[in-house]
Amino acid sequence: MELDARAKINLTLDILRRREDGYHDMQMVMQSVTLADRLTVTPARGAEGQAASDLRFLPTGNKNLAQVAAAAFREAVGLGGEVDVDIQKRVPVCAGLAGGSADAAAVLRAMNRLSGAGLSPDRLAEIGARAGSDVPFCVLGGTALAEGRGERLTPLPPLPPCRIVICKPPFSVSTPQLFGRVNVRKIVRRPDTAGVVAALEAGDLAGVARRMYNVFEDVMEPRRYAEISSIKAELIDCGALGASMSGSGPSVFGLFDSEAAAREALARLRDSYRDVFLCGPGPAEFPAEV
Ligand code: C5P
């Protein structure tokens, strides 16, 4: 079975509190995008399922998040069997775009169909939480408010049609380290989450774009932060309605209501960066449920 594993961006990312279990309670407006890995999921040739990809450094066995998700599905449902997963990697890794979580979620959707288990989207998302905090959102896709660790999801009206330019600068950020630098009581600037939700309900793209913010931007190292800021400035200069960092970074994205302006941003950023993409909002994976 072949399927797309769509990446996500954070229209907002807020951290509410540090929990006893080491995780943080979050409040995030998540949006899937059409930038996606292409997966082929087949019954395993050997005794144990493998993950193969066109990136040599990704793990191939049970350390690959796609195989972690497959194991979680078998354990929870008792169906599915071992699967081989072939990944054509298009989404940059360690980028704040949930590329690995998207692969894990796609494997869960594939196993749900291949095994005939027919689990509900919510049950599938619940199983996904065992593989990582962003997996439940990637199972459902579309537009959603994510709370708790990221697993408590409320579907939201879709982002109005727009173009999205994503640029990943060539450094990676450790998510646990970045969380470690956050002092929740000292966060001075937060996104207007309620305002973004209201703008989505009103179908107001500009209203969404101008309220976006990610609290991780405040705790980036100054040199990294300067680079994030300059990409945001370039996107705005090209006509983006708003720009923000996604997840724990370092990817930065801009929302555009003009194809020409988005193409201009793509061309300009490609002068300086290798990983620059033009895409659009992704659909919910189970539209009937929204
Ligand atoms: O769930 P996941 O494996 O993606 O999380 C990676 C790390 O990010 C966790 O070990 C934790 O340090 C941090 N994290 C957190 N709060 C969250 C999600 C992740 O502190 N809500």
* pLDDT tens figures, 225-254: 999 999 999 999 999 999 999 999 999 999
**Judgement on whether residues 33 and 143 belong to the same structural domain of the protein:** yes
> Domain limits at 131?
2-155
- What CA–CA distance (Å, rounded) separates 154 from 173? 28
Question: Domain with 47 in it: what CATH number?
Answer: 3.30.230.10
pLDDT at 56: 85
Count the domains in the chain. Answer: 2
Question: Domain with 270 in it: what CATH number?
Answer: 3.30.70.890
Domain boundary (155, 172, 205) is at: 155
Domain boundary (155, 188, 210) is at: 155
pLDDT at 255: 98
**Judgement on whether residues 137 and 68 belong to the same structural domain of the protein:** yes
Task: Report the atom number in ligand 1 closest to the C-alpha of 25.
Answer: 21
- What CA–CA distance (Å, rounded) separates 180 from 174? 10
Rounded alpha-carbon distances, angstroms, from residue 288 to 3, 182, 252: 19, 38, 31
pLDDT at 61: 82
Q: Does ligand 1 come within 6 angstroms of the Cβ of 132?
A: yes
Give the distance (Å) from ligand 1 centre to CA of residue 259.
35
Active-site residue numbers? Answer: 8, 134
- What CA–CA distance (Å, rounded) separates 100 from 187? 28
Please identify every stretch of the chain with a pLDDT value under 70, giving residue numbers as ranges: 288-290
Is residue 284 in a domain?
A: no
Q: Does ligand 1 come within 6 angstroms of the Cβ of 129?
A: no
Tokens of 121: 């989207």
pLDDT at 287: 78
Q: Does ligand 1 come within 6 angstroms of the Cβ of 104?
A: no
pTM, to two decimals: 0.96
- What CA–CA distance (Å, rounded) separates 283 from 143? 8
Q: Does ligand 1 come within 6 angstroms of the Cβ of 133?
A: yes
Is residue 286 in a domain?
A: no
Task: Report the atom number in ligand 1 closest to the C-alpha of 22.
Answer: 20
pLDDT at 170: 96
